[in-house]
Each structure stands twice: as C-alpha cells, then as structure tokens.
Amino acid sequence: MKISVVGTGYVGLVSGACLADVGNDVLCLDLDPEKIRVLEAGDIPIHEPGLLEIVRRNVAAGRLSFTTDIEAAARFGTMQFIAVGTPPDEDGSADLQYVLAAARNIGRYMDGYRVVVDKSTVPVGTGDQVSAVIAEELRRRESDLEFSVVSNPEFLKEGAAVEDFMRPDRIIVGAEDERAIELMRELYGPFQRNREKVLVMDVKSAEMTKYAANAMLATRISFMNELANLAETLGADIELVRQGIGSDPRIGWQFLYAGCGYGGSCFPKDVKALVRTGRESGHELQILNAVESANEAQKLRLVDKIVARFGEDLSGKHFGLWGLAFKPNTDDMRDAPSRTIVAELFRRGASVAAYDPVAVTEARRIFGDDARLSFVERPMSVLEGADALVIVTEWKEFRSPDFERMRQMLKTPVVFDGRNMYEPAVMKRYGLEYHGIGRR
C-alpha cells in the first residue's frame, strides 16, 4: 500500500517508519528542510528508542523516503496521514492551522481517491473541517475526485512509541465510509494477527476517545499527587497507599505513582483542549480544571520542600539536578516539571548543575547560556559542591546509585526525590536526609 505521512515529529515519523517496516511504501513530508536533511543523512531529529534502526532499515530497503515536495506527497499515497502538531492556542484550544493546511494541500494536488487519516490529536469536529477544506479545494479545481476522512488517533507513549505502534492494544478507526474502513482494516492487518484490535466508530467519537484517554490518565496522576500531599500531613505513606489501592482490579496499577507532576507533548495540551471544548459547548469540566490546577501546583512541590529546608532566600545555594526530560527514554522537555523547578530555583537566587542522558541539547536550547545552569556528563558529577540533590526524572541509571559516595560528595547530605525512587529507611541508613513525595 502507498502511504503519505504529513509531518515527521514523534507521531509522523514513528507511524511512517513502522508502516514501512511491514512492507508498505511510505513517503514522509515535512516543510522543515533541516529535518528532511537529517533524515536523508541517516539520522533522526528526535530521541526514541528503536526508531533509528527501523528508519535506516526501511530507507535502505527503499520502502521509506522523505520529501519537502507537497505536491509529490499528495500524489503519492492513497492513504494520506496527517500527523502535524496541534499546539495549544492562548485560550487553551488546539491550534488547527497545520492540520487544515495539510488537508488543503491534499485537496489541491490529489489525483485520485484518497483516504485522509487524522493521526494528529484534534478536537471533536475536526474531521468535518478537514472534509470541508478538501471539498473546497476540489470545487476550485472543478474536480469530482472522491475522498474519505478518517480519525485514527495515536496512543503512543514517548520512550516506547515503536513498541506501542507495532503491538497496539487497540486501534481506533473513526469512519462512516465502508471503502475507507476496509482500507484501514487492510492497513492495520499486520499489527493484529493474534486478535482483532480495530474498534470502528464514528469520527467524532474517535476524536473524543483520544482526549478522554489522556484526560483520564492525567486525572489519575493528579489524584495520586493530591493524596500524596495529604499523606505527608497525616503521617501516612503514599507508597503503601498505592499498593493498597492498586491491588484492587477495578483500579489497577497504572499511573498511580505520586511525583512532581506530569508534562510532555500530550497530557498538558490535551487536558487544556478538552476543558476548552467543554467550555465552548456550555459544559464546565470541573474535574479536569482541578486536574490541571493540581498538576501546576505539584511542579513546585519540590521547591516548597527545598524552601522549607533551606529558607525562602536561596542565594548562594547550589543544587544538583538529576533529570530534565519530562519522562525517561525521551529528550522531550515540553511542559517538563524540570523547567518550572529550575526557573523557581533561579528566581530564589540558586544555581543548578544538571545531568540527563539525552535531554541536554534540548535544555540548552530552552535555557540558553544562563550562567546559573551548568551541565555535566555523569550523574555523580552534579553532587560536587551541591547543597542538595534534586531528582526530577526517573531514569533507570538513577535507581541504584552509590549512596555512600553521594553522602560524602554533597555539602549537605539532603536528597529531594520528585519520583520516589528510594526507600526512606535505606536513605536513613546511609546517613542521607530524604524528602520524597508523600513518603513517611
């Protein structure tokens, strides 16, 4: 099957590469010539485990190629995947300009039947807008070419996106046209050989499913963070509480970890967009308003603990920081808690030495040449001259550090753990003052 993918970000590049890996011919379009240059040079512009190997393998096999030529992409694939960004507008709503521009270009240059697949996360009703834009372009051309618009939201976790695409737990297809549905079933056949995973529904329900999924997961995170803060006040231990409620099969274990807040490209943006959609429809989504407020406050929870320990004025204090990315196995720092924490430490007069296995380049782009922030190449190096260690991202290499060396290197043997990576009793045994989230 011939497939065009508009956009080479996390969703577009992973989707294009994985679809090529099962034998399809895929052409990925991006208007950023630098991205295309990087891809054609045999590299990728993002950090995603396993993706580089798949891209190189399929480029070598001739199944995956890249272009900046809009017309060529529109004419290439019967399946036209739109996988461009939908960043939040100032009012929190999703900005659809890139989605609609992609749709307009498809309508302008398509030369046969097309299935236009909305892979981007888009508000309910976007499918209608995409359809209207394509139809308008075809009318201008006085063309009677047929097309179908399908909603096919992605459920890819950054850091595990390849695995999620190749072994999906469900494939949502929002469509009313039988021809398009059959083509989507054919396309995803290789990814569901052990059982039927395609769930067919109407376009609007598919669009809403994506937002509902992310909003639910964000709600679980903020719920646990709220409970963790209460546990600290009451003298309970949130880790024991987590085990107690997670063992209930009606609740389960996923997304029940307390921490310093969620970030990334999806949860913050999608919660805001769903709240905005509800407001525009006359429904105030009170739970999601609270989820968003709780998360923003939680990003400062570690700083609150630092202030309680060292005082309001942190002038002259120096902190070591482990983790910059919003989660492990990615270099994504969009809405990352580290950004809020570092900015607040700066505001209070402190300096920071940071380590992250892959996100330093992105951090340099975000923070610039601020002299208050330095980067080191090894985790233990951040401890040199530091008044305390602050842990923001739960990278695997932080799980079993040399605690004895940690105590010796820190000016003050204090650890502020925003991801509850260690047991308080173990830290006490090594002579480290430990401040987790909701730990007794």
pLDDT of residue 98: 95
Q: Is the pLDDT of residue 90 over 80?
A: no
Grade residue 193 by pLDDT with cuts at 50, 70 and 90.
confident
Give the mean pLDDT of 30-42. 95
Give the mean pLDDT of 182-197. 94
Q: Is the pLDDT of residue 91 over 80?
A: no
Run of H or E including 293: helix 286-298
Q: Is the pLDDT of residue 88 over 90?
A: no
pLDDT digits (tens, 9 = 90+) for 310-368: 999 999 999 999 999 999 999 999 999 999 999 999 999 999 999 999 999 999 999 99
Identify whether the C-beta of residue 412 lies closer than 8 Å to the C-beta of residue 317.
no
Grade residue 194 by pLDDT with cuts at 50, 70 and 90.
confident
pLDDT of residue 409: 97
Measured over the CA atoms of residue 91, residue 92, residue 96 and residue 97, the dihedral's sign is: positive
Q: Identify the three-state secondary structure at position 200.
A: strand
Round to whole Å and give the CA distance between 99 and 80.
Answer: 12
φ and ψ of 67, to 5 deg = -155, 160
Pick the catalytic residue from 18, 28, 260, 266.
Answer: 266
Round to whole Å and give the CA distance between 9 and 15.
Answer: 10
Identify whether the C-beta of residue 77 lies closer than 8 Å to the C-beta of residue 117.
no
Q: Is the pLDDT of residue 114 over 90?
A: yes
Identify whether the C-beta of residue 424 lies closer than 8 Å to the C-beta of residue 432.
no
* Adjacency order of strands within the sheet including 147-151: 64-67, 25-29, 2-6, 79-82, 114-118, 147-151, 171-174, 198-201
Average predicted confidence (pLDDT) for the chain:
96
Run of H or E including 275: helix 267-280
Identify whether the C-beta of residue 373 lies closer than 8 Å to the C-beta of residue 351.
yes
Provide the percentage of residues in the chain whose pLDDT is more than 70. 100
Run of H or E including 132: helix 126-140
What angle (nearest 5°) sits at the alpha carbon of residue 157, between those of residues 161 and 223?
A: 170
Amino acid 156 reads: L
Q: Is 18 a catalytic residue?
A: no
| Structure tokens belonging to residue 94 | 């999703």
pLDDT of residue 284: 96
> What is the β-pairing status of strands 64-67 and 147-151?
unpaired
> Considering only CA atoms, which of 380, 384, 383, 299 is closest in space to residue 340?
299
> What is the β-pairing status of strands 79-82 and 114-118?
parallel
pLDDT of residue 262: 97
pLDDT digits (tens, 9 = 90+) for 10-20: 999 999 999 99
pLDDT of residue 93: 79
pLDDT digits (tens, 9 = 90+) for 369-425: 999 999 999 999 999 999 999 999 999 999 999 999 999 999 999 999 999 999 999
Grade residue 43 by pLDDT with cuts at 50, 70 and 90.
very high
